[in-house]
Amino acid sequence: MNIREFKEYARSRLKSSHERPELRFLVGALLSHLANVPHYWYHTREDHVISPDVEKALLQAIDQAALGKPLQYILGYVSFGDCRIKVDRRVLIPRPETEEMWYKAKNIPGIVLDACTGSGCLAIALKKKRPGTPVFAFDISQDALDLAIENAALNEVEVSFFRADLLNLSRVEQAALSTGLHKHSIGLLVANPPYVTEKEKKEMSTGVLSFEPHHALFVPDHNPLCYYRQLAVLGRLYLKPQGRLLVEINQAYGKEICSLMREEGYKDIRLHKDMNEKDRFIEAMWVR
C-alpha cells in the first residue's frame, strides 16, 4: 500500500463520520506519527510505499477512528506546553483551552497545587517551566494518578502526587500533609475540575461520550458549581496572602463563579475569555 491508497482507504472508511478538513488532519497525523512521513509527503510523495508493519498499524488506527476513538487516544499522547503527555481512557484529553490556562499560570510565582490533575498535564508543564518550584497535585482516581506519575517520569520532572477527593476537604488536608504540603504555603492553586452539566451531554460528540471518563467531565444539573465551592475553600486553606487561584470553567457560569469567589473573600477577580472568545477562566487573589 502506498500513501495514495491509504488516503483512499481512510476516506472510504471515515467519510460518513468525519468532515473533510478533520479527515485530512487525522490522516496526516497518522502518517506523520505512525509512518514517520513528513507532512508535505501527503501530496508530494503519494507513491511512497508503506511497509507491511506500518500499514497494519495505520489500518488498525483507521478502524479505531471509525468507531469514534479520538485521535489523541489512538496516538497515545498529546503535546502540552513544553511536554509530551501520554493519554488513554483513564484520563481526559487535555484541550487547547487548558493549555491556554497553563500559559496564564506559568508566570505566577510560588508553590503550586493542581486539583483534579488527571493526566498531570498542568502540574508537569508548570514544573517543567519552573523546575525550582515545588508542585503538588491530586486526583480522586488512582488510575489517573498512575498515568500522571508515569507522565512526570517521562518528562523528567518531580511532582508530588497524592490521592484525594476534592469534595472531601478533610481527606485532602490529611493527604496533603502526608505529602509535605502545609496550609497557607502556596502561591498558585490551579484546577480544571469537572464542569459539564448532565443536560449538555446531548451536545457532545460520540467520541467524548464513548471514550473519555465521565467522572472527570460531568456535574449534576442541580449543583453545577459544586467543585468551585470546594476550590474556593481549598484556596482559603492553602493559599498564602496574595496567592492566586486560577480555574477553568463552564462558559455558562462565569458570573456565578465570580460571585462565589467574592463571597468567599477573594479579591481582584478576573473573568478571562479563551481563544474562541468564550468565558473560560477565572483568576482570583486571596488576601487574608
Region 128-139: mean pLDDT is 97
The whole-number pLDDT of residue 18 equals: 82
For residue 53, give Cα distances in angstroms to 12, 29, 45, 72, 177: 21, 17, 19, 21, 50
Region 57-80: mean pLDDT is 93
Q: What is the pLDDT of the chain when averaged over all its residues? A: 94
Query: What are the strands, taking DSSP E only, across 10-149?
Result: 77-80, 83-86, 111-115, 135-139
The most confident of 28-32, 35-39, 251-255, by mean pLDDT: 251-255
Read off the pLDDT band of 247 (50, 70, 90). very high
Read off the pLDDT band of 288 (50, 70, 90). confident
Handedness of CA 217, 220, 225, 231 (dihedral sign): negative
Region 121-129: mean pLDDT is 98
Tens digit of each residue's pLDDT (9 = 90 or more) over 157-180: 999 999 999 999 999 999 999 999
Residue 42 has pLDDT above 80, yes or no: no
Region 50-69: mean pLDDT is 92
- Return the CATH architecture of domain 77-286: 3-Layer(aba) Sandwich (3.40)
Region 107-136: mean pLDDT is 97
Residue 61 has pLDDT above 80, yes or no: yes
Which residues, 6 or more positions from 7, have their beta carbon under 8 angstroms from its beta carbon? 27, 42, 46
Region 244-268: mean pLDDT is 97
The whole-number pLDDT of residue 112 equals: 98
The whole-number pLDDT of residue 219 equals: 95
Residue 36 has pLDDT above 90, yes or no: no
Domain extents for the chain?
A: 3-67, 77-286
Read off the pLDDT band of 266 (50, 70, 90). very high
Region 114-124: mean pLDDT is 98
More confident residue, 19 or 266: 266
Residue 114 has pLDDT above 90, yes or no: yes
The whole-number pLDDT of residue 225 equals: 97
Query: Is residue 111 within 8 Å of 148, Cβ to Cβ?
Result: no
Percentage of the chain exceeding pLDDT 90:
80
For residue 116, give Cα distances in angstroms to 124, 165, 225: 13, 8, 15
The whole-number pLDDT of residue 44 equals: 80
Rounded Cα–Cα distance for residues 191 and 182 (Å) = 18
Tens digit of each residue's pLDDT (9 = 90 or more) over 87-113: 999 999 999 999 999 999 999 999 999
The whole-number pLDDT of residue 74 equals: 94
Residue 89: how many CB atoms within 10 A of its CB? 14
Cell of 20: 473533510
Percentage of the chain exceeding pLDDT 70:
100
